[in-house]
Amino acid sequence: MKKYIIQSIRLTLVLMVLLCIVYPFLVAFAGKFSKGEGGGEKITKNGKVVGYVLLGQSFTKPEYFWGRPSAVGYNAAGSAGSNKGPSNPDYLKQVSDRVDTLLKYNPGIRKSDIPADMVTASGSGLDPNISEQGAIIQIKRIAAYRKLDEKKVAELVVENTQGPLFGLFGPSSVNVLKLNLALDELKK
Amino acid sequence: MNTELFGIIATFLLTLVIAIPLGKYLAKVFAGEKVWTDFLKPIESGIYKLSGINPKEEMNWKQHLKAMLTINLVWLVYGFFVLIFQDKLPMNPDGNPGMTADLSFNTVISFVANCDLQHYSGESGVTYLTQHVVMMFLMFTSCATGMASAVVFFKAFRDKTSARLGNFWEFFVKSITRLLLPLSFLIAMILAFNGSPTSYEAKDQFISLQGDTVNVSRGPAAGMIAIKHLGTNGGGWFGANSAHPLENPNYITNTVELVAQMIIPIAMVIAFGIFIRRRKLGWIIFGVMTIGMFLLLIPTISSELGGNPALSKMGISQATGAMEGKEVRFGPAISAYWSTVTTIISTGSVNNMHDSSMPLTGVWQLLGMMVNSFYGGCGVGVLNYFIYLIIAVFISGLMVGRTPEFLGHKVEAREVKIAALITLLSPFLILAGTALASFIFTSHGDAAWAVQPKNWLNNPGFHGFSEMLYEVTSSNANNGSGFEGLGDNNILWNVLTGFVILVGRFLPIIGPVAIAGLLGAKKFIPESAGTLKPDTLTFGLMTFAVIVVLNALSYFPALALGPLAEYFTMLK
């Protein structure tokens, strides 16, 4: 028994060097050569960081495309979903309020145009994407607030829609931050 | 829509294409045959030398279990104190606090046991140091513990009669050097170059496009996420686990993480067949497990793609399926696939929030964890399956009126008793644990704990009951996923689930290894016309029937009170 204890402690120490020092060091070193140099890829505008490509941010102003509802208010110091069950009455009330808000701000759309992702919270609370349909229903509003041609905004949405992987696998999506940056560019 | 289903098919095929050759490789590695990774031998010799281990020293099954339990105990004690004092240790750039004793108790057991149930949130509850020397370290070692224990069990059936079952440390170290470490590095690289952070910088701050100040938690996550999946651990670097965009940046990484968590459990089944020189038995077991998986997967996909009926009534479009708790870049289809995979094998990482799944999905998730051997966790999946197998051998023996035997060894009272006890253990822990929690919720709601019992449910009614049932089931299965709405960081949940994880981990390893050790030492009886052949389709079906009947009898009432009741109330 005593033999096993000593062997266990020594083996633990040796493996700790391998698994907690050598391995992470190699990963961190190699990570330096990735796009964000290991710190996460950032987006800059006029030399200032305005966000991370992968992290969604809050857009509440009517002249920007909105992202999905978030259980953590897009505060990236944490992350969480709403964890609301499908039959929870408070939750259903909340969703129905979100539907009303979208209907109010986006004239001309019908309830059946609203895709589920625009009225439900994401798993992480930091979802950077919305569905293409989620962007399409906002085109009229954006065009009106920015006094732009609807067609131009619609083109922008198409340009910023990322199709399935290799055109074959998975859903398509729109990165809201990139779309809004492109929108700001359009103004000039 | 169709592209989402293609994604599922491609992911599963890719898994098989990698897992099957990996099984052949693992069988050779553990049998000590020549493989191309033999160039790593000097490193292994170095590890043995520094640890004072002689890898040639043969152990019997009792010595194996002693070695396994001793090193696990060392990790438990060590991890417990490091987590409590993490605030006073270096590498804590965000200034996160130390853990309370009950939370540390829960957390360290959870990681030692390959469960990775997390009652803390990665961003605020741990430091970069503890993420490395506790979480990530234990992710490697707990998986290797499971694999080494499974190899001991393999060994017992390789030769006709043998009490000498190889060296535990050798199996353990080889699992890490020949498989976990190199593959983890490869996966970490794929993650890093798709956007997962690897640097040690602290929290970042920026002003968003619309003018809000935003803080961003980061840290060297990629290395941990790799072993988290490869080792079927499942504990996330970030609170939202693999739903977090930095933990699972895009569809490619999603596929990689899905494939990574499934390959070892499948490979171990294939390796078992090859190792004991009965390939057909390996394939039959694989077949039963795969059928089991699809029986849970198909209804899960169907219930998620159907969307939430309550939202359909509001008149909005759920063209792709239910979206609450899911990410747009993955979509509901592969999220449903993930929820099945992560519950049938014991990963417990999530790319969507199970608490927001449709009620029937909840049934399939819970069943996956209750059965816990449709592939199952790293190494332990095969061991769990073996218990069902022994029960099936026993029942078949009774049916034909012969002394039951398995692979030429008589299965007698002692072995069947052990198997029966292990079979009863899971329902006991799950049902008694849930009953205790429900009792405290209803009768002691005002207890002055960190989270008051009356406030610990995030959802009312049947779904609230499901939250408690899920938490205990996940602990017993060493799964670690949760209906995360549950306010679980308080003394009851920390101690209760800590205890359930501990018992639910080690007894189901000790039991099968003991049975295998006892059987392996018995006299070999040559095959005759009356021998029960375990590598036939008929016996495969028999085992499957045992799995279905045992689990249905044990859990139907609990499932009826939770997710099934919720499903039927939503119908009206």
pLDDT per residue over B152-200, tens digit each? 999 999 888 888 899 999 999 999 999 999 999 999 999 999 999 998 8
Spatial separation of the C-alpha atoms in residues B219 and B134, rounded to whole Å: 15
Contacts of B409 (CB under 8 A, 6+ apart): B519, B520, B522, B523, B524, B525
Spatial separation of the C-alpha atoms in residues B109 and B79, rounded to whole Å: 9
Instruction: Look at A95 and B314 and tell me if their CB atoms are within 8 Å.
Output: yes
pLDDT bin (cut points 50, 70, 90) of residue B371 is very high
Using a CB–CB cutoff of 8 Å, tell me whether B204 touches chain A.
Answer: yes
Place of tokens 């790593």: B40
Instruction: Look at B169 and A131 and tell me if their CB atoms are within 8 Å.
Output: no
User: B210, A59 in Cβ contact below 8 A?
Assistant: yes
User: B74, B103 in Cβ contact below 8 A?
Assistant: no
Convert the pLDDT of each residue in B312-370 to its tens digit.
Answer: 988 898 888 999 999 999 999 999 999 999 999 999 999 999 999 999 999 999 999 99
In a domain, A158, yes or no: yes
In a domain, A22, yes or no: no
Element (H, E) at A175: strand A173-175
Place of tokens 């095959």: B527
What pLDDT, on a 0 to 100 scale, did the predictor assign at position A76? 87
Domain ranges, residue A152: 53-187
Q: Are strands A129-130 and A173-175 parallel, antiparallel or unpaired?
A: antiparallel
Instruction: Look at A54 and B246 and tell me if their CB atoms are within 8 Å.
Output: yes
Torsion of CA B184, B189, B194, B196, to 10 degrees: 70
pLDDT bin (cut points 50, 70, 90) of residue B526 is confident
Q: Which residue of A lies nearest to B314 if distances are taken between CA atoms?
A: A96
In a domain, A40, yes or no: no
User: A87, B463 in Cβ contact below 8 A?
Assistant: yes
Contacts of A33 (CB under 8 A, 6+ apart): none
What pLDDT, on a 0 to 100 scale, did the predictor assign at position B127? 92
Evaluate if residue A187 carries a pLDDT over 70: no
Mean pLDDT of B480-503: 92
Of residues B382, B392, B380, the one with CA closest to residue B419: B392
User: B496, B249 in Cβ contact below 8 A?
Assistant: no
Spatial separation of the C-alpha atoms in residues B252 and B195, rounded to whole Å: 11
Sign of CA dihedral B135, B136, B142, B145: negative
Using a CB–CB cutoff of 8 Å, tell me whether B337 touches chain A.
Answer: no
Q: What is the DSSP string of B258-322?
A: HHHHHHHHHHHHHHHHHHTT-HHHHHHHHHHHHHHHHHHHHHHHHHHHT--HHHHHHT-B-SS--
Chain B residues touching A31 at Cβ < 8 A: 192, 197-199, 220, 222
3-state secondary structure of B240: coil
pLDDT bin (cut points 50, 70, 90) of residue B1 is low
High-pLDDT (> 70) share of chain B, % = 100
In a domain, A34, yes or no: no
Instruction: Look at A37 and B199 and tell me if their CB atoms are within 8 Å.
Output: yes
A45, β-bridge pairs: A48
What pLDDT, on a 0 to 100 scale, did the predictor assign at position A108? 87
Instruction: Look at A74 and B327 and tell me if their CB atoms are within 8 Å.
Output: no
User: A51, B208 in Cβ contact below 8 A?
Assistant: yes
pLDDT bin (cut points 50, 70, 90) of residue B565 is very high
Both tokens assigned to B416: 């069947």
Residue from the list B209, B331, B351 with its beta carbon closest to the beta carbon of A180: B209
In a domain, A14, yes or no: no
Using a CB–CB cutoff of 8 Å, tell me whether A119 touches chain B.
Answer: yes
Mean pLDDT of B234-263: 94
Both tokens assigned to A104: 């109010």
Q: Which of B197-211, B427-441, B461-475 comes out lowest in average pLDDT?
A: B197-211
Best of B329, B354, B363 to mutate (most A CBs within 10 Å, chain A):
B329
What pLDDT, on a 0 to 100 scale, did the predictor assign at position B400? 84
Instruction: Look at A10 and B52 and tell me if their CB atoms are within 8 Å.
Output: yes
Q: How many domains does chain A have?
A: 1
In a domain, A103, yes or no: yes
Sign of CA dihedral A148, A149, A154, A156: negative
User: HSE (CB half, 13 Å, CA atoms) of B57?
Assistant: 12
High-pLDDT (> 90) share of chain B, % = 79
Size of interface A-B (CB pairs under 8 A): 373
Residue of B319 and B42 predicted with greater confidence = B42
pLDDT bin (cut points 50, 70, 90) of residue B515 is very high
What pLDDT, on a 0 to 100 scale, did the predictor assign at position A78? 87
Evaluate if residue B420 carries a pLDDT over 80: yes
Contacts of B62 (CB under 8 A, 6+ apart): B517
Instruction: Look at A58 and B359 and tell me if their CB atoms are within 8 Å.
Output: no
Evaluate if residue B394 carries a pLDDT over 80: yes
Using a CB–CB cutoff of 8 Å, tell me whether B460 touches chain A.
Answer: yes
What pLDDT, on a 0 to 100 scale, did the predictor assign at position A188? 54
Convert the pLDDT of each residue in B471-480 to its tens digit.
Answer: 999 999 999 9
pLDDT bin (cut points 50, 70, 90) of residue B572 is low
Mean pLDDT of B269-295: 95
Neighbours of B435 (CB within 10 A): 14
What pLDDT, on a 0 to 100 scale, did the predictor assign at position B448? 86
Chain A residues touching B329 at Cβ < 8 A: 127-129, 170-171, 173
Average pLDDT, chain B: 93
In a domain, A60, yes or no: yes
Spatial separation of the C-alpha atoms in residues B303 and B357, rounded to whole Å: 9
